[in-house]
Structure formats: structure tokens, C-alpha cells
Amino acid sequence: MGPGKRDALVDVDGVLVGHEQRLDPHWATGVTAVLVPDGASAAVDVRGGGPGTRETDVLRPDHLVQQVHGVVLTGGSAYGLAAADGVVRWLGERGHGVPVGTDPAHVVPVVPGAVIFDLPMNDWGNRPDAGFGYRACQHASREEAREGNVGAGTGAVVGCVKGGIGTASAVLGDGTTIGALVAVNAAGSAIDPGTGLPWVPTPGLRRPDQAEIDAAKPLFGTRPGRHGPVDRPLNTTIGVVATDLRLSGAECRRLAVAAQDALARAVRPAHLLVDGDTMFALATGTGAALPAPGEPGWAARLDEVSAAAADVVARAIVRGVLAAEPVDGVTCYTRLYPSARE
């Protein structure tokens, strides 16, 4: 198993990614649109105690609609759900959605989404709206592999350091591609305070100098906001894992579960009451199909794909932390532990 061409979610055939953000003295928030215009099987797993979501019920495998056309990851807490309206409009204008009439333009795009809590990183009242979502779609492409302070990761904070967007991919031996994109914004920490290293082993990093480790320890347990400490932690890690396999909604659900397992590896503690941890899974169906449920090899193959999905999500989370840059007093990993990457 090795990374795809871009080592990003867009390595999965049929997936486009676009970001829109605003970062200035009054704003630090944005939207990431993951588009599957031709449709994809989908599922979701919600583990946090404080989620902010849209259209997650439609992803149940016993419901009518069996495909989605995009997923929205956005800042702005519950206010930010308005960004999905812009994504729906962009898709609908191009005829992507569930047909509901004889005219090809009569479609209803299915676009679930989730939010992070980044309000203390902005002046009050500044949060993504439908315009952010629409512009994120305008930027969407198969080349999008930016990380850090972009899209939904613009105002993200994880533990005591800046979080952000992270993405990664893997290609299995049979050519199956799995990719992930995560907005890392958790109450817990992605860093082991005792070593200064991410909880997930990461090639290219070495243990920081002990002086850096000792200096950073008092920061752990704090929750920095752009305008000073906040009573409520900035929280919620949300993301998408996708594959080009042909999977049912129930099989996608196993990938979403694996994505949450990865979150618990990479962020500790995870799935708290103040988190809204939400992971979506997509299967574009441009590749091979699994054996039918109950046939020889089905369970083993699905477990193999799920395990790979967990590895990719964990790596994306670490990359989101390493790529983040400081924002007005909220430091970042590379500033806290500069010797780790020397």
C-alpha cells in the first residue's frame, strides 16, 4: 500500500474538492466542499456529544435516497450549516441531483454536512454563509490538495495548537484507492505532551528538544481562542473518507466507523460531550465491487479496506496539524516544537 499521486482525497476517481475561506483581523473561518457530482453511496458515523449536522438521516441504508452528490465541511458552528445551501444551488444549476421531474434541470442535490465550532476565532457574527459554499464549489477540482489554514480548517484549533485541513490517500495492491480529508478541530490534543510528537507515529519527525517539550507542557489543557482564552473549547473534528470501490450504504458505514477509530488514535481524548466528531464515507463506484455479502472473501475484503481507511484518516489528521500556521496568538506545532522537523 502506497500513497496516491497527490496523496490526497482527490486521488479517488469521481471526487472534487474546493475550499473557500476568509482570514483577516476579523475572520478566521471557511468551507470545504467535497463534491461527487455523479453521485456516490454514502454513510456517516457521529460520535461526539455536540454535533452540528445536516441531512445525516438520509444516509441510513433503509431510506429512499441511496446516493449523495456532495458533503459540506464548514466552520461557523450551527450558523455555518447555511453554507450547504450554496453547494446545493451550485450542483442544482448544473443538473446534479436526484431527478424529480421530466426536465433534466429538475433535480434535488443531496448534500449532507457537518460543522466545527470556531466562533471564538472570529468577531461575533462572522461565519460562513451560502456564498462561501457556492464559491467553494467554484474552486473545486481534482487537483486540490492544500492543507492547513484553508477551507473549514481556517479557524480550527486542536488542543493548544492551531489545527487545519489534512488530506491523504492510499492505493491498495489491487489498485483500489482510498482517500481522506479532515478538518482537525478538537477539544483533545493530537500531541503527546511527554514526547512532543503526534500520537500517531509520523515519518520525518524526531523527538523535539527536551527544553521545547518542557516549555510546551503548561499549554496542554488550555483552549486558546483568537481573542484570548475561551471558557468553551474550540472543538469538533469532521471529515470524509472515500473510495472508488462499489459499496452499498451499509458497507460505507464500516468505513465511517473506521474513520472514527482513526480519530480516537490520533486525538486524545476524542468523542467528548463538547465534541461533535462526525465522519462521512463515500464510495464513487468507478472501480471494482466487493464480493456479495456472505460470499467467500467478503468480510475479509471489507475489513482490509476499512483498516486502510483508518490508516489514511489518521495520517490526514496528523498532516492537518503539521500544515497549520499560527493565527493571532494561537501557536502551531512547528512553532511549538521547531526542532522536530530540523
Question: 127-182, pLDDT tens digit by residue?
Answer: 999 999 999 999 999 999 999 999 999 999 999 999 999 999 999 999 999 999 99
**pLDDT value, residue 230:** 58
Give Dmax over CA atoms of the chain in angstroms: 69
Alpha-carbon gap, residue 120 to 231, rounded angstroms: 10
Alpha-carbon gap, residue 26 to 332, rounded angstroms: 19
- The answer to whether residues 309 and 180 touch, using CB atoms and an 8 Å cutoff, is yes
**pLDDT value, residue 311:** 98
| pLDDT tens digits, one per residue of 293-335 | 989 999 999 999 999 999 999 999 999 999 999 998 899 999 9
Residue 196 reports pLDDT greater than 60? yes
Assign 235 to helix, strand or coil: strand
| pLDDT tens digits, one per residue of 260-275 | 999 999 999 999 888 9
| Confidence band, pLDDT 50/70/90 cuts, at residue 232 | low
At 305, the amino acid letter reads V
% of the chain with per-residue pLDDT over 70 = 98
Residue 101 reports pLDDT greater than 70? yes
Beta strands in 196-308 (DSSP E): 197-198, 238-243, 278-283
Cell of 37: 457530482
Positive or negative torsion for Cα 276, 134, 309, 293: positive
Tell me the whole-structure pTM to 2 decimals.
0.96
| Confidence band, pLDDT 50/70/90 cuts, at residue 229 | low
The DSSP secondary-structure symbol of 196 reads T
- The answer to whether residues 51 and 114 touch, using CB atoms and an 8 Å cutoff, is yes
Of 154, 86, 150, 149, nearest in space to 119 by CA = 154
Assign 276 to helix, strand or coil: coil
| pLDDT tens digits, one per residue of 1-47 | 799 999 999 999 999 999 999 999 999 999 999 999 999 999 999 99
